[in-house]
Amino acid sequence: MHLLVFIKQVPDASQVRVNYNTGTLIREGVPAIINPFDKHAIEEAVRIKEKFSGTVSVITMGPPMAESSLKEALSMGVDNAYLLSDRVFAGSDTLATSYALWAGAKKIIEEKGDVDIFLSGKQAIDGDTAQTGPGIATRFDIPLVTYAIAIKDIDLKKRTIEIVRLIESGAETIETTFPCFITVEEEINKIRYAPLPYLIRAARATIKILNTKNTKIDSSKCGLKNSPTKVKKAFTPQKRERGEMINKGSMQDTLNFLYENIESTLKDMGKI
Amino acid sequence: MIKQDIGEYKHIWIFVEHKDGKAKSVSFELISKARELAEVLGCEVHTFALGKKVKHLADEVFRYGANKFYFIEDNLLSEYKTEPFRDAASYLIDKYKPEIVLIGATTLGRDLAGTIATKLNTGLTADTTGLDIDKKTNNLLMTRPTFGGNLMATIFCPDNRPQMSTSRPGVYKAVEFSVEGEVVEESFKFNKSNYLKTVIDKTLESEEAVNLNFYDVIVAGGLGMETKENFKYVKELSSILGGTWAASRKAVQMGWAPQTRQVGQTGQTVHPKIYIACGISGAIQHQVGMKSSEIIIAINKDEEAPIFEIATYGIVGETGKILPAMIDLFREKIKKER
Amino acid sequence: MKRKDFDVIIVGAGPSGLAAGFVLAKAGVNTIIIERGKFPGSKNVMGGIFYTKAMDDLIPEFYKEAPVERHIIEQNLWFMDDVSHLGVSFKSQKYNSEPFNSFSVFRAKFDRWFAKKVEQMGALIINETVVTQPIVEGGKVVGVKTDRPDGDLYADVVIGADGVNSFLAKQLGLRNKIKPNIVALAVKEVIGLDKEKINDRFQLRSDKEGAAYEMTGPFLDGMEGMAWLYTNSSSISIGVGVVIQDLIEHKTNPNDLLEKIKAHPSVAPLIEGGQTKEYLAHMIPEGGYYATPKLFTDGFLTTGDAIMFVNNVNREGSNLAIESGKLAAKTYLEAKQTGDFSSKSLSRYQDKIRKSFACKDLSMYKNMPKLLEEKRYFLTKYPQFFIDFVYDWFSVDGVSKPDKIKKAKKEFGDKFGYVNFAKDLYAIWRYMIR
Ligand SMILES: Cc1cc2nc3c(=O)[nH]c(=O)nc-3n(C[C@H](O)[C@H](O)[C@H](O)COP(=O)(O)OP(=O)(O)OC[C@H]3O[C@@H](n4cnc5c(N)ncnc54)[C@H](O)[C@@H]3O)c2cc1C
Ligand SMILES: Cc1cc2nc3c(=O)[nH]c(=O)nc-3n(C[C@H](O)[C@H](O)[C@H](O)COP(=O)(O)OP(=O)(O)OC[C@H]3O[C@@H](n4cnc5c(N)ncnc54)[C@H](O)[C@@H]3O)c2cc1C
Ligand SMILES: Cc1cc2nc3c(=O)[nH]c(=O)nc-3n(C[C@H](O)[C@H](O)[C@H](O)COP(=O)(O)OP(=O)(O)OC[C@H]3O[C@@H](n4cnc5c(N)ncnc54)[C@H](O)[C@@H]3O)c2cc1C
């Protein structure tokens, strides 16, 4: 079985601070990490591989420094790592990103064989669109299963997979066929402490670089210029003002005060 | 990139999301917002719905001011699956060429929208909280939070049509405005062998599986709830307020709540109208998941707790004392007002 | 067949482990380095003054490529009481030419760079993995256990480069538990400041030139220790290290001490307006020569801070660590020729260390810790007397200079006694110079 995981290197959002004077994010010194959801996608792929045997490949599109995330992926048990890196990709929106990743994935398929399961995180914690996975799946024209919280069953003979996914009113179990595309939630698994042999293999592994020269990526579909959406402006949201401490003489007074203050909101919401 | 003849495209389309034939309120919110935009653009607001039986939704959307209602009914659309919905929606949009397509940023909407935009080769702006028209160019300006709410970005899509966006529920007010609308039935020839997915089981929301984003009130407990037992207060208060309950990571780690109910960087990001944080310190990783809530009420015995930095109303005290009193109060008030 | 995964396992990717790894890998030895931090240097987020020589021998002109901050052209030694300082300063243009005597560096950056070089030579570096114990078979060290699943590794030789707390050396019985009187606790801060401000305040002519200060004296309330301050590109490092035993006895918290130094009238203007960027506490071995434990056993060598190879008088450590790492690697290479990794064969390491410049330095100061322990007033009363004298000397108060000298001579005699002073001088000479 061949599994391909899409991973994105992101700044650790919890360490990004806002400069309210300039309206920009302070990213200096903020460590780059694998998008947290993507780590669970890697872990799930490696678990499936361990159970059914096969190989796991990962690909990331990003600047050369994204290599460190691929190294980390390798040390989690991934077999092949690809860095899709080229100036022309800079500024791509999700339509252009999913195009480039789709084309990059096709190159990997050429080299390593057909992919049975594609995985990605449900969402990147920086761009926050959750659109890249659906975009790639659509280009491959394969079944898409988003917000997966468990893989229940895989039948290698029938080439089917059962996946539990979150929906608005609860959860549903989907059965679908290979190849398919799954985007994962964090609770799909717990990331294990990888065995030492994985780390040693990762330290020895080399990362393959893909770009417009060694793939069939059409650069007229990539980058800022060729992305349909453009960022007109970026600004920091109004700082959330510190509200008021409403402790009154007695607890009852406090709670009555609270109620009076939120009464109209409750009304608008149709609660009362 | 192939430039389209964008002049061909006209009118604003709203996707009417429904559950078993009952429309979601976000659809009406978006119709109301679209009416404002349509006034600036001098166009109409159209709606479309897909399902096994959806025709009856027409009356509802007309009540909120939609001028047209397109729909496709098919057994294949009886329950939501990405691919048939994607194909049917793409067909309609491609045929009628609306200038703008808005879809509620629900779980379903965000699953669907990315696939449609890819099919149509157009831009899609995710999870917007603000929509405007650029008076000079008539382009749609879509504003959205990124970086876990730390940065707002205004996005536009100048050269491709339709301009698409998923829009966050609860941002706009649904205002009734009855019109005589037109109903247009459409059909799409599904090639059944293309669809390889079956839903084999649905479990209703449980302790374990919940989509917090669905709720306008969330009561969350942290380590300051002190015991698993005390989480009953959190649950009870949330049910009185018609919301749901959630937890901080530490509470999840203590086994007081399932991971599906965790709010924060590695849990769910929520933005309800009211968020009540009980015994939660307000670590930055928790804050990124909830700080765009409209009203934040924080209960903590430590007056220095960082959660008070972002709380609309802060109450210093013991969760074990305040929550039971709060439950009594709201129970009484809410009964009385009803 | 005996299991063997690598020729050499190095525990710890600090300067000594990396230097050993560099030499070994360069010689084609199959080498793995295990580091518990997220990356080399991550556990040592701050920097220090890095003396060039040992590294320059390893990688000539390394500073052209390595992330260094400023080369130091001025060194100061200050004796301070609570309100004054008496300083000795040396600044020379000689320090302004390659290969430069020393640099200020940030270890997180520097070690990471060094690690890349070591990897390029062919050694494997495994991060985020803790070595939990040595594997000993038939009295010989044959490998290590780590905290990872399937985490055992076997090799001909294990090099313990695991720093001041070296628990490998402890587990192998090469040394005793560290006593609080031979280890200092250091606290340190990095204070961000504009380049231009730094150049101005320290009279430096470019962003590349730097200055360093060491401070001791009565402001430490008789505790044995040293404070320091030096310039990075756009920040200042300031810190203080005090022997742990003294901290305990004086019930002093090193953080408070650092705050006191930062507020000292001679120091405050240097750091004024800066923003604290990082803070760290760490132990430094202060034992010197006598604290150095046994350096080897069958299949095992140990290096750097783990053997307390630190010259606390000159604030050297990383360069000595590199030196010892190199020597350990050379010892392995020699032993490899005969395939004999027994204690006897590895004992050549001891000779090499003894002959090294570092050890000669250490030996020179070997009795310093003991001396200071016995004669605590070296750090308090003498400096205080000279500070007071100098204050008096420069004060224009109607007393003539010869009278001032006379007065001082008398006071000195009363306070210390000339005979005692002569004895102390002799002690210093005997202890230190010989
Ligand atoms: C402020 C701002 C706002 C933006 N808004 C929009 C917008 O509204 N619409 C739009 O189309 N674009 C937008 N973009 C561009 C978008 O962020 C990029 O296209 C980005 O490369 C992918 O989107 P994402 O970060 O939202 O990832 P998501 O789509 O949220 O990522 C989902 C998953 O896809 C995979 N993935 C994502 N990126 C990569 C990658 N580079 N390599 C490998 N796998 C990957 C990962 O598994 C990830 O978990 C915006 C960019 C900025 C800076
Ligand atoms: C990579 C990473 C990701 C993370 N992701 C998340 C995430 O998604 N979500 C998340 O929540 N956290 C996350 N965390 C953890 C986060 O840093 C905090 O540790 C966590 O949010 C703290 O939970 P808490 O507020 O319940 O507990 P604490 O921080 O221990 O706070 C308990 C609070 O309760 C108060 N209290 C105690 N007793 C009482 C009482 N009787 N009455 C009233 N108040 C009382 C205390 O004053 C205190 O403020 C993450 C951390 C990391 C490193
Ligand atoms: C506050 C302070 C200031 C200093 N200033 C200077 C200065 O200005 N100039 C100077 O030259 N020196 C200075 N030193 C001394 C210098 O830092 C050390 O002498 C030098 O780092 C020693 O190198 P090492 O390789 O022996 O040990 P370390 O640098 O301590 O490296 C040991 C490594 O081993 C790893 N490790 C430990 N145990 C394990 C394990 N069980 N498994 C896996 N990995 C493990 C650690 O994470 C660490 O990375 C200073 C020290 C301190 C504390």
| CATH number, domain containing residue C343 | 3.50.50.60
Q: Are residues C234 and C247 in the same domain?
A: yes
Residue B47 has pLDDT above 80, yes or no: yes
Residue C258 has pLDDT above 50, yes or no: yes
pLDDT band for position A81 (50/70/90)? Answer: very high
Instruction: Confirm whether C1 is domain-assigned.
Output: no
Q: How many CB atoms lie within 10 A of CB A183?
A: 27
Cβ distance A247 to B315 less than 8 Å, yes or no, reads yes
C357/A256 Cα distance (integer angstroms):
78
CATH superfamily of the B212-337 domain: TPP-binding domain (3.40.50.1220)
Average pLDDT, chain C: 84
Where among C268, C291, C314 does a domain terminate?
C291
A179/A110 Cα distance (integer angstroms):
15
Domain boundaries of chain B, sorted by first residue: 6-194, 212-337
Give the model's pLDDT for residue C365.
55
Instruction: Confirm whether C363 is domain-assigned.
Output: no
CB B281 within 8 Å of CB B250: no
B99/B10 Cα distance (integer angstroms):
5
Q: Which residues contact A235 (CB under 8 A, 6 or more apart)?
A: A23, B151, B152, B153, B154
Q: At what angle do helices B107-120 and A132-140 cross, to 10 degrees?
A: 50
- Domain B6-194, second-level architecture: 3-Layer(aba) Sandwich (3.40)
Average pLDDT, chain B: 92
Range of the domain at C49: 6-67+106-176+293-355
CB A13 within 8 Å of CB A31: no
Q: Look at ligand 3, atom 5, and give the residue with the nearest C-alpha.
A: C48
B47/B164 Cα distance (integer angstroms):
14
Give the model's pLDDT for residue B74.
96
Q: Are residues C262 and C198 in the same domain?
A: yes
C346/C203 Cα distance (integer angstroms):
50
How much is the average pLDDT of C9-22?
96
Residue C193 has pLDDT above 80, yes or no: yes
Instruction: Give the residue from C228, C240, C238 showing the smallest Cα distance to C275.
Output: C238
Instruction: Answer whether A85 contacts ligand 1 (Cβ < 6 A).
Output: no
Amino acid letter, residue C195: K
Q: Are residues C280 and C412 in the same domain?
A: no
Residue C433 has pLDDT above 50, yes or no: no
Q: Which of A77-81, A257-261, C77-81, C394-398 has the lowest mean pLDDT?
A: C394-398
Domain boundaries of chain A, sorted by first residue: 2-221, 241-272
How much is the average pLDDT of B64-75?
97
Residue B161 has pLDDT above 90, yes or no: yes
Give the model's pLDDT for residue C434.
42
Which residues line the pocket of ligand 3, CB cutoff 6 A? C 11-17, 34-37, 43-44, 48-50, 130-131, 161-163, 186, 188, 239, 282, 284, 304-306, 310, 315-319, 321
Give the model's pLDDT for residue C31.
97
Cβ distance C124 to A193 less than 8 Å, yes or no, reads no
pLDDT band for position B247 (50/70/90)? Answer: very high
HEC-encoded secondary structure of B112-169: HHHHHHHHHCCCEEEEECEEEECCCCCCEEEEEEEHHHCEEEEEECCCCCCEEEEECC
Beta strands B12-15 and B45-51: pairing type? parallel
C260/C223 Cα distance (integer angstroms):
14
For chain B, list the contacting chains (3+ Cβ pairs, <8 Å). Answer: A
Of A192, A194, A200, the CB nearest to C124: A200
Residue C422 has pLDDT above 80, yes or no: no
Give the model's pLDDT for residue C374.
63
Contacts of C146 in chain A (CB under 8 A): 196
Residue C244 has pLDDT above 80, yes or no: yes
Residue C385 has pLDDT above 60, yes or no: yes
How much is the average pLDDT of C147-159?
96
For chain C, list the contacting chains (3+ Cβ pairs, <8 Å). Answer: A
How much is the average pLDDT of B227-250?
95
The residue ranking higher by pLDDT, A168 or C344, is: C344
CA C164–ligand 3 middle distance (angstroms): 7
Give the model's pLDDT for residue C364.
54
Give the model's pLDDT for residue C299.
94
Q: Which ipTM was obtained for this model?
A: 0.91
The residue ranking higher by pLDDT, C279 or B28, is: B28
Check if B6-194 and B212-337 are the same fold.
yes
Q: Do chains B and C touch (3 or more CB pairs under 8 A)?
A: no
The residue ranking higher by pLDDT, C79 or C144, is: C144
Q: Are residues C212 and C274 in the same domain?
A: yes
First to last CA, chain C: 53
Q: Are residues C217 and C285 in the same domain?
A: yes
Residue C46 has pLDDT above 70, yes or no: no
pLDDT band for position C11 (50/70/90)? Answer: very high
Q: At what angle do helices C15-26 and C107-120 cross, to 10 degrees?
A: 20
Cβ distance A167 to B108 less than 8 Å, yes or no, reads yes
Give the model's pLDDT for residue C404.
76
Q: Which ligand is nearest to the Cα of residue C161, counting in written order? A: 3
Chain B nearest C-alpha distance from A38 (Å): 11
For B173-219, the pLDDT digits (tens) are 889 999 999 999 999 999 988 898 999 888 876 777 677 877 899 99
Beta strands B274-278 and A80-84: pairing type? unpaired
Instruction: Answer whether B152 contacts ligand 1 (Cβ < 6 A).
Output: no
Q: Are residues C150 and C198 in the same domain?
A: no
Which residues line the pocket of ligand 2, CB cutoff 6 A? B 222-224, 226, 248-251, 262-267, 279-281, 283, 285-286, 289, 300-302, 305, 318-320
Q: Are residues C54 and C193 in the same domain?
A: no
Size of interface A-C (CB pairs under 8 A): 33
Ligand 1, closest atom to CA B114? 11
Chain A nearest C-alpha distance from C14 (Å): 18
Instruction: Confirm whether C423 is domain-assigned.
Output: yes
Which DSSP category does C305 fall into? G
For B112-144, the pLDDT digits (tens) are 999 999 999 999 999 999 999 999 999 999 999
pLDDT band for position B86 (50/70/90)? Answer: very high
CB B89 within 8 Å of CB B116: yes
Give the model's pLDDT for residue C309.
62
Residue B95 has pLDDT above 60, yes or no: yes
Q: Are residues C162 and C14 in the same domain?
A: yes
CB A143 within 8 Å of CB A180: yes
Q: Look at ligand 1, atom 32, and give the residue with the nearest C-alpha.
A: A123
List for chain C the helix, strand, coil content (%; round to 5): 40, 25, 30
Highest mean pLDDT among B162-166, C108-112, C227-231, C309-313: B162-166
Q: Which ligand is nearest to the Cα of residue A39, counting in written order? A: 1
Where among C275, C291, C307 does a domain terminate?
C291
Q: Are residues C395 and C418 in the same domain?
A: yes
Contacts of B210 in chain A (CB under 8 A): 170
CA C163–ligand 3 middle distance (angstroms): 5
Average pLDDT, chain A: 93
CB A73 within 8 Å of CB A42: yes
The residue ranking higher by pLDDT, B212 or C9, is: C9
Q: Which of A73-82, B161-170, C35-44, C262-271 has the lowest mean pLDDT?
A: C35-44
What percent of chain B has a predicted confidence (pLDDT) above 90? 76
pLDDT band for position C286 (50/70/90)? Answer: low
pLDDT band for position C91 (50/70/90)? Answer: confident
First to last CA, chain B: 57
Q: Which ligand is nearest to the Cα of residue C241, counting in written order? A: 3
Strand residues in C222-360 grouped as ranges (E): 225-231, 235-243, 275-285, 296-297, 300-302
Q: Are residues C157 and C185 in the same domain?
A: no
- Domain A2-221, second-level architecture: 3-Layer(aba) Sandwich (3.40)
How much is the average pLDDT of A30-44?
95
Give the model's pLDDT for residue B160.
95
The residue ranking higher by pLDDT, C326 or C425, is: C326
pLDDT band for position C302 (50/70/90)? Answer: very high
Give the model's pLDDT for residue A141.
96
How much is the average pLDDT of A195-206?
94
pLDDT band for position C54 (50/70/90)? Answer: confident
Cβ distance C126 to A204 less than 8 Å, yes or no, reads no
A109/A111 Cα distance (integer angstroms):
5
- Domain count along chain C: 3
Reading the block at residue C123, the tokens are 């050694």
